[in-house]
Amino acid sequence: MLAVKLDSFNSSTGDKEAAKVIGYDASKYNALKHGVLSKYTVMHWENRDDYDALLSSLIDEYKPTNATEEHLVEELAGIIWRKMRLRYAEMSSLQTSLSRNIGLETFSSKDCAKEALLEMPYKIENFNIKQAVITSDEESKTELLETRECLSCCLNSEQIILESNSYKKGLNALHIIDQNKWQEAWDNDDENDISSATAEGLLSWIDDLKEHYERRIYELENRSKVKHQVLGKSFFYDKELNKYMRYESHLDKKFEKTLAMLIRLQDLRKEHNVIQNND
């Protein structure tokens, strides 16, 4: 389809430039989608969407036009990504020290949720650390909005029942998700029929549901903190940050060198194009 579009242009200078723009727009994300380096840069437990966004922004900024420039841009993305890990390591180190200094030395150094949130064990005993790591920020935000909506409906339903003692109005005020849960709970109960459900019984069920949603909201709101703590500790092997700081210095130098190469290459290309146009 791209070839058809390009064939439709005439040989004028303006049309050639327009063809270049269309060609670039169609291919500028090739490095993002098919980059070889990214396969070895992004670990399986890291958020690929975050890396893709970083690489995409660098592509938009430097607009590579050939394989060499794309390679250098991808190198820059890899360097920035590795520096991010060092920030997690540093943050993790400081957070661990803080938890000890405020009297939480009984916490296991391996329990990232306790260290990240500075909470007592009972408060986070059901915190799903694995889910916090593998879930994207957007997915967590979406679930958080839905959970808050469900809790809001629970509070509204509770108020309606207390004021009117109406089972039907209270049930209808619940989120459709919880209305279905309530129906399923009665369907799975061989001893009772939903026709015998009462406002009092629904109110008791809502009370438990509110507690569930409150715990869930707390976990969703704090997922990113726990995730960063886990990622940081993954690179914080021996409680010595010196080697990581040396590594960061190495990355800084590599970044400067790579960026200088990219800019120089693009400048040479521009100079070459100017000479050709003058000829």
Q: Is residue 114 part of a domain?
A: no
Distance separating alpha carbons of residues 58 and 81, to the nearest angstrom: 12
Residue 154: what pLDDT? 97
Q: Are residues 180 and 257 in the same domain?
A: no
Q: Are residues 144 and 180 in the same domain?
A: yes
Q: Are residues 58 and 157 in the same domain?
A: no
Q: Is residue 105 part of a domain?
A: no
Distance separating alpha carbons of residues 206 and 135, to the nearest angstrom: 28
Q: Is residue 110 part of a domain?
A: no
Q: Are residues 167 and 247 in the same domain?
A: no
List the domain range (segments joined by +) for residue 249. Answer: 2-91+240-278
Q: Is the Cβ–Cβ distance between 203 and 170 less than 8 Å?
A: yes
Q: Are residues 141 and 82 in the same domain?
A: no
Rounded to two decimals, the pTM is: 0.54
Q: Is residue 113 part of a domain?
A: no
Per-residue pLDDT tens over the stretch 79-90? 999 998 888 777
Q: Are residues 161 and 246 in the same domain?
A: no
Q: Is residue 111 part of a domain?
A: no
Residue 8: what pLDDT? 37
Residue 2: what pLDDT? 28
Nearest residue to 64 via CA among 37, 19, 32? 32
Residue partners of 72: CB distance under 8 A and separation at least 6: 64, 258, 261, 262, 265
Q: Is residue 118 part of a domain?
A: no
Q: Are residues 214 and 270 in the same domain?
A: no
Task: Write phi, then psi, for 241 (nearest 5 degrees).
Answer: -90, -10
Residue 17: what pLDDT? 47
Residue 3: what pLDDT? 35
Give the amino acid at 16.
K
Residue partners of 250: CB distance under 8 A and separation at least 6: none
Q: Is the Cβ–Cβ distance between 89 and 238 less than 8 Å?
A: no
Residues belonging to the chain? 279
Q: Is residue 166 part of a domain?
A: yes
Place of tokens 């890291």: 46
Nearest residue to 220 via CA among 131, 118, 99? 131
Q: Is the Cβ–Cβ distance between 81 and 42 less than 8 Å?
A: yes
Supply the DSSP symbol for 11: S
Q: Are residues 204 and 252 in the same domain?
A: no
Distance separating alpha carbons of residues 75 and 62, to the nearest angstrom: 13
Averaged in consecutive runs of 10 residues, what is the pLDDT profile of the chain (279 residues)? 34 45 48 56 81 92 91 94 84 68 49 78 80 87 96 97 95 96 84 80 95 94 87 61 76 95 92 77
Count of structural domains, the chain: 2
Q: Which two tokens stand for residue 157?
A: 């339903």
Residue 104: what pLDDT? 53
Q: Is residue 172 part of a domain?
A: yes
Give the amino acid at 26.
A
Residue partners of 252: CB distance under 8 A and separation at least 6: 83
Q: Are residues 81 and 154 in the same domain?
A: no
Q: Are residues 198 and 246 in the same domain?
A: no
Residue 246: what pLDDT? 81
Q: Are residues 179 and 265 in the same domain?
A: no
